[in-house]
Amino acid sequence: MFSELSFVALLLLLHEAVSAADDGGRFVYHGFAAANLTLAGLAAVTPGGLLELTNATRPAKGHAFHPAPLHFFSKPAAAAANATTAPRSFSACFVFAIVSPVHDGLISDQGLAFVVAPTTNLSMASADQYLGLPDTVSNGSASDRILAVELDTIMNPDLADIDSNHVGVDVNSLVSRQASPAGYYNGDAGDRFQELRLNSREPMQLWVDYDGQARQLDVTLAPVRVPKPKRPLLSMNIDLSTVIADPAYIGFSSATGITLTSHYVLGWSFILDGPASPLDFSKLPILPFVGQKPRSKVFVVDVALPLAIASLVAAVLAAVFLIVWRRRRRYAEVREDWEDEFGPHRFSYKDLFLATGGFTDATYLASEGSGEYTKGCSRHPIWRSR
């Protein structure tokens, strides 16, 4: 027999389980520092509140799920016990970022996916091109009951990917049932397609909206702070009652392979039977800086600027010295071999100029041939060529 204490503890556990299973199907996360998520693999919450599904340390997978299972189907009334279970509408929006330190982010590995799954235990799933989802999903096994919206940055021909930068809807298979190049429709008429690069290191927002009555799934992508486009990127008819289990868990899955990449989720909003609450971007955590850090103004003023001035002065002095040295060398007296034995028999022009007073008429003596003799202070006639 249970003791009273054990009975009370059991009641508390049952109460928590019921509360978790029926939390109203609504939540909003502006960062995940205080979030109670079910994490597995590489998934972790950073000190700054980012949900990091994978990181740039090793190839592996990461999963993060809302801990409470949600009921995606409405229960028929007692009077209509034979009525078919109808899928409920739901709406999700989240802000994500794909950050790679390789080649300025132009190269990244795989991507991430928003997932509706029957369990949070995907430990048997594969990394790399499977985005952390089970291999059997690629075979279209309905027993896996997984709906995923993938944000893929690698083209995998074996999974029939359309390109290396696309958004796709996966229904019990990693071969997307519908896919489109990443981007959004801009303008009032929604007729201008604006491409987005998923691995641009910039945060983007994705909406996943399902209309249970119309059996229609819409997927919309846009840059952060851009209002939700009126025209979705993807729109398809699908009866979720034939796709997912009830209850089911919602969350994120991601994986990396050769190129180590960080996949972040900054904020997440979800609701059953209504539109998801918009996220307040001012409350979202900040992405870490990747790349060379800009030098501070203190470094520029106190160190770089004096060094630049000193280098400029040294360059100017070196140029002046080189000019003077080359000029002196150019006009230097040539000493011939015979002068080594008998001594120099020539004078520099400067010495002659000073000795003759500048070759003035007062020192003129006589002319001969093509030159003339001029008296110098050396008391010997000096001949100068005309």
- What is 366-380 written as a DSSP string? EEETTEEEEE-TTSS
pLDDT higher at 295 or 193:
193
Q: Which pTM value belongs to this model? A: 0.68
Mean pLDDT, range 55-78, rounded to an integer: 83
What is the dihedral angle through the alpha carbons of 221, 225, 226, 230, rounded to the nearest 10 degrees?
Answer: 70
Rg (CA), the chain: 41
Mean pLDDT, range 130-152, rounded to an integer: 75
pLDDT at 21 over 50: no
Q: What is the pLDDT of residue 326?
A: 76
Count CB atoms within 10 A of the CB of residue 79: 7
At 226, the amino acid letter reads: V
At 322, the pLDDT band (50, 70, 90 cuts) reads confident
**pLDDT tens-digit profile of 244-299?**
888 999 999 998 877 778 899 999 999 999 999 999 999 999 998 765 544 445 55
**pLDDT tens-digit profile of 81-95?**
555 678 999 999 999
Mean pLDDT, range 297-317, rounded to an integer: 74
Distance, in Å, from the CA atom of 44 to the CA atom of 201, rounded to the nearest integer, reads: 19
Bridge partners for 145 per DSSP: none
Strands 183-186 and 44-45: unpaired
**pLDDT tens-digit profile of 205-218?**
999 999 999 999 99
Q: Which fold has domain 24-76+84-283?
A: Jelly Rolls (2.60.120)
Mean pLDDT, range 309-320, rounded to an integer: 86
Phi, psi of 52 (to 5 degrees): -105, 110
Is the torsion defined by CA of 218, 221, 225, 226 positive or negative? negative
Mean pLDDT, range 200-208, rounded to an integer: 94
Q: What is the pLDDT of residue 317?
A: 87
Q: What is the pLDDT of residue 84?
A: 63
pLDDT at 151 over 80: yes
Bridge partners for 218 per DSSP: 209, 235
pLDDT higher at 218 or 307:
218
Percent of the chain clearing pLDDT 90 (strictly above): 41
Q: What is the pLDDT of residue 22?
A: 43
Q: What is the pLDDT of residue 100?
A: 81
At 200, the amino acid letter reads: S
- Considering only CA atoms, which of 180, 179, 184, 218 is closest in space to residue 204? 184
Q: Quick check: 142 and 184 in contact, CB under 8 A?
A: no
Q: What is the pLDDT of residue 279?
A: 95
Domain positions in the chain: 24-76+84-283, 340-386
Distance, in Å, from the CA atom of 317 to the CA atom of 169, rounded to the nearest integer, reads: 69
